[in-house]
Amino acid sequence: MQSAHNQTTLKADARQGRILPPQLGPPRPALAALPTELLLEIGSYITLSAHLYRLLRVNRRFYAIFHDIIYKIPVQGLQRHRLITTRNLGAVRRLLANGVLDIEADIEYPPFEESWYMFTSKMLFEAICLHDLSMVKLLLEAGASTSECQMDASTETLEMGKLLARHGAHVRAAASARPIILCVLVREFQPGQHTWCAKALFWEPSGETGVLTSFGFR
């Protein structure tokens, strides 16, 4: 309730055309003031890990509440790519343990503007491309397929080559003086046409690495 003096002042201001402050309603309860049980119920309705990730970054209490839930949400789309490029082994292990990470699902990249082409890849191929031996080992142990991997016989002298060979990668006669691992890393799709793009990773004797790219149609 406003005092009689304040009411008189407000009426005088109104007559003089002054801007009056808004009439504020009763304060609303803040999200952080809700009990943990209710916050967990709210979190159970969030289906995108990116949204839940923003929520758990609000404060330490939210982090403690929602941190475990984020590893129970199915991984979608380019989130698989980010898991590889950030080399987040711990997250991949937890997601696999919870059964919410399909490592064989295609990673689909947005098509180029005004183009019918769509580019896809797989987690294993991108881990090989980054030379991330630990991630490759984890994915292979989780059942990642090597059916689209080929490697020169000389590559079996490398740790990456030995690992892929043990898990069924096709070994071909050495076609180059340099050890090469070949993956169908990117596929391109267009109406009436199926194109593939293979990336070959080669290792120089000096330890340096490089990438060769070849295209084909089928």
Q: Tell me, what DSSP letter sits at residue 210?
A: E
Contact 47, 100 (CB under 8 A): no
Q: What SS3 class is residue 194?
A: strand
Mean pLDDT of 7-30: 64
> 147-163, pLDDT tens digit by residue?
877 777 777 777 888 88
90-123 b/e with 16+ CB inside 10 Å = b? ebbebbbeeeebebeeebbeeeeeeeeeebebbb
Predicted pLDDT at 178: 62
Tokens 């002298």 correspond to 157
pTM of the model: 0.69
Q: What SS3 class is residue 128?
A: helix
Q: For helices 133-141 and 159-166, what crossing angle results, to 10°?
A: 10
> 24-68, pLDDT tens digit by residue?
667 677 777 889 999 889 888 888 888 888 888 888 899 999 888
SS (H, E, C) 141-159: HCCCCCCCEEEEHHHHHCH
